[in-house]
Structure 1
């Protein structure tokens, strides 16, 4: 059975030397890029814009999540502050019941209260 390729030419893709095959593929790719240079630039520019858009959307959702976390933390801070003030007032009330006043003065000293 006869081959369709002429006797002297060897197809670089089916050649036994992988370096020659790789060189042939690379040179073919480079020639294609040279012919369609504007299309490749447009493709890479659009790819860059698309990736930046994905990053922007990702950052938008991250900012939204962080704002929600901030609101939750503020509420938790307010709750803890209210609990601390309630505990402080309850301790001061309990200390005021003591007839000697030693406990009350010690509590006021700990809390930094100058009120008597």
Structure 2
């Protein structure tokens, strides 16, 4: 049996536990293993927690890759149909496909991994 209290406090300071879903290490590593998903997460993170239109995100990712009409179509399909649903399942974003919007959900684990990647990409 665990010594963790069953109520919403930690038993030491009386403060509430954070009730937001946390990203598991496996999910964080899987999400950030792909360069396009890292670009997506970084762009959303830099957007300051606001909702971003998918088209704006697609433009940003396309500009980081090889800007062309063909690339943009491929990037849009990849982001809307594959990457954002995965990131949503892993708890890194809130993706509203009906409204074509997405919002980054901050995670200390993901923030640390992104900082480490950025530091080592220099």
TM-score, length-scaled by structure 1: 0.21
Larger Rg over CA atoms: 1
TM-score, length-scaled by structure 2: 0.21
More strand, by proportion: 2
Say which structure, 1 or 2, has more relative contact order (CA 8 Å, 6+ apart). Answer: 2
